[in-house]
A and B are shown apart, each in its own frame.
Chain A
């Protein structure tokens, strides 16, 4: 088990290294120059003395050959220094520390919200197969899978924000500051992030439960005289969660992908918003750090998923 985790972590490092490589070189292929974009937004470049611009290039290390830049970046990374943002003129580590908790707050809430109702709804639909509940669930979940997130977001903003005025339409408040207000801010973004997940989980769960319910060992369970509740909770549920868990890792990726869109629509100051801003500004350092952190999160959560898998399915061996 321990050697499995160590091996997985080592692989994780290799993947992260590949991610740094791709991100670093791909963004540099884009036309344009981050420093010039930054300067152009703030002052008249034409009147700036040449030496001052060159000094800036040197400050960011952009005067060096690209391979040297990469080596420097990796070297600094290993020392725990994520670099200096060009646009924000701040340490990127500090920038991320401000934004990461926000994204985790929204993302994790969205993740949990997409899971629990999805599992429950799918379970109920399967147990009451071909009833009106099942039909309603089927229709809603297909709709949920098909609706684009941004469209849903604008509908929600229009209805609950502008018309009914129940919820704030944008912004973020830390739950430690004002829990209630923070939750109100969270509702619409979380719905947008989690709806496709709820719908997909419900569909998967429904078919998984249907398959498990027809297994021989479930017939054995019925033949013992167990009540429906016991058959479902002890014998069907755990087995039908196994395929759902396999897909959890992927779902975490979707959640972070979705947060990029949602954070921008709802003006939430998280990593997704920072990422889009940095791409427009071609702020290499921020984009790199952002991709790196997301990769780490996704790799770690996938490892967690695979470990929890063993708890659900004793047939899995970690070797």
Chain B
């Protein structure tokens, strides 16, 4: 079957004062129709930049220097960032909602103005129809009395409500893919859970695929079919949600799992991963996780950065020399 979206060997670099910053360095992943995937990694590992690159929304000093983004059979990186074709995809076929609900809506425009403009642009609706549709969308995402509130400004809503508005906005034009970049990070736990529930419900209703970007493995555990673990600009492990949680193979993934509260570890202490992620300028040519890795061997030190290799389990791949299943029987401490 043809993939809906397939990103191949994507590279996005930033030209900073400290040198070349390889924010995304050879990332590949795919999403099928109506599939939910998760992209997980610590802050600064390049999750947002990866997704912005898919949308071709990288601004200077950043530049997409290599790779392909195949959407519906065509490499959309070949389109000009501000050309007609790319703009039709952006917001129309692939929509994105962002990390910061408090700042992602324009403070001087009403909800109606912000929701209608997409509808008028992509679905060629007129003003009245767009308004009606916008009210309907707000009702769908659970904004109370949307007819009365549609002419309100963002500051008149709470963070959770604004993120609901963002979800409505993202789905307004019936996109094939919704990218949710840490949509719940800034919110309290209850609101987080409600929003995740809402989001997955909505993409099902709209028959869209969903990419959930998060630093919290727990967030994607329930909803994602497959998970990609990112570290320092690269995918270090990928596989089905089950595989990742049952048989994590990368020391970083294991570390992430140990730092997430889970039902089967209730009462046990959460162990954060020691050390800090590396500086993405001047990366060493050996494994990027080595300085923090509890499983490192001599080989890791002397060999170049490992490649992603297949391991047992459906679609399970890992970027590590050591077979952790053999070293350590208890995978999750």
Name A residues whose Cβ lies closer than 8 Å to a Cβ of B: 215-228, 230, 234-235, 238-239, 242, 312-315
CB closest chain-A residue, reference B81: A222
Interchain Cβ contacts under 8 Å between A and B, 27 examples = A216-B98, A216-B103, A217-B106, A217-B107, A220-B98, A220-B166, A223-B55, A223-B91, A223-B95, A223-B96, A224-B91, A224-B117, A225-B88, A225-B89, A225-B91, A225-B118, A226-B87, A226-B121, A227-B87, A230-B121, A234-B113, A235-B106, A238-B108, A239-B107, A239-B108, A242-B108, A314-B155
Interface pair B90/A225, CB less than 8 Å apart? yes
Taking A225-B89, A226-B117, A314-B155 as contacts, is the C-beta distance between A220 and B104 under 8 angstroms? yes
How far apart are B47's CB and chain A's nearest CB, in angstroms?
15
Give A220 to B172 CA distance when docked, in angstroms: 14
Picked from A220, A226, A312, the residue with its CB within 8 Å of the CB of B108 is A312
**Residues from chain B with Cβ under 8 Å of A218 in the complex:** 106
Residues of chain B contacted by A238 (CB below 8 angstroms): 108-109
Contact of B108 with A219 in the complex, beta carbons under 8 Å: no
Interface residues of B, Cβ cutoff 8 Å to A: 55, 57, 82, 86-92, 95-96, 98, 100, 103-109, 113, 117-118, 121-122, 153, 155, 166, 169
**Distance in Å: Cβ of A112 to nearest Cβ of chain B:** 23
Q: Is the CB of A217 within 8 A of B105?
A: yes
Structural contact, B109 and A234, CB atoms closer than 8 A: yes
A223 to B104, CA, bound (A): 11
- Most chain A beta-carbon contacts within 10 A, residue among B95, B100, B107: B107
Say yes or no: A222-B57 contact (C-beta < 8 A), given A216-B103, A228-B82, A313-B108: yes
Which residue of chain A lies nearest to B87 when distances are taken between CB atoms in the complex? A225
Complex contact B106–A221 (CB within 8 A)? yes
Contact partners of A223 in chain B: CB under 8 A: 55, 57, 90-91, 95-96, 98
**CB nearest to A241 among chain B residues:** B108
Asked whether A239 lies within 8 Å of B90 as measured between CB atoms, the reply is: no
Interface residues of A: mostly helix, strand, loop or mixed? helix
A228 to B105, CA, bound (A): 18
- Rounded to whole angstroms, the CA-CA distance of A314 and B155 in the bound complex is 9
Q: CA–CA, A225 to B76, complex, Å?
A: 14
Q: Is A234 within 8 A of B117, CB to CB?
A: yes
The distance in angstroms between the C-alpha atoms of A234 and B117, with both chains bound, is 10
Please tell me if the beta carbons of A227 and B106 are within 8 angstroms of each other in the complex. no
Q: Within the assembled complex, what's the spacing in Å between the Cα atoms of A216 and B98?
A: 8
Hey, which chain B residues are within 8 Å of A315, CB to CB? 107, 153, 155
With A225-B121, A225-B122, A314-B155 as known contacts, state yes or no: A220 contacts B57, CB within 8 Å.
no
User: In the complex, how many angstroms separate the beta carbon of B44 from the nearest chain A beta carbon?
Assistant: 18
Q: Besides the contacts A219-B104, A220-B104, what 11 more A-B pairs have beta carbons closer than 8 Å?
A: A215-B103, A216-B98, A219-B57, A220-B105, A223-B90, A224-B91, A224-B117, A225-B122, A234-B113, A238-B108, A239-B108
Nearest Cβ on chain A to B64's Cβ, whole angstroms: 15
Q: When chains A and B are docked, how far (Å) is the Cα of A228 from the Cα of B86? A: 13
Closest 6 CB pairs of A and B: A225-B91, A224-B91, A225-B90, A216-B103, A225-B87, A217-B106
Asked if A217 and B104 sit within 8 Å, CB to CB, the answer is yes
A230-B117, A314-B155 given as contacts; is B92 within 8 A of A225 (CB)? Answer: yes
Contacts of A227 in B (CB 8 A): 82, 87
Q: Which residues of A contact B117 (CB under 8 A)?
A: 224, 226, 230, 234
CB of B107 within 8 A of CB of A314, answer yes
Known: A224-B117, A225-B89, A226-B117. A239 touches B153 (CB 8 A): no
Establish whether residues B90 and A235, one from each chain, have CB atoms under 8 Å apart when the complex forms: no
**Residue on A with the closest CB to B122?**
A225
Minimum CB–CB distance from A319 to chain B (whole Å) comes to 15
A222 surroundings in chain B (CB, below 8 A): 57, 90
For the complex, give the distance between the alpha carbons of A220 and B96 in Å.
8
In contact, A219 and B88 (Cβ under 8 angstroms):
no
Please give, as numbers and ranges, the residues of chain A lying within 8 Å of B118 by CB-CB distance.
224-225
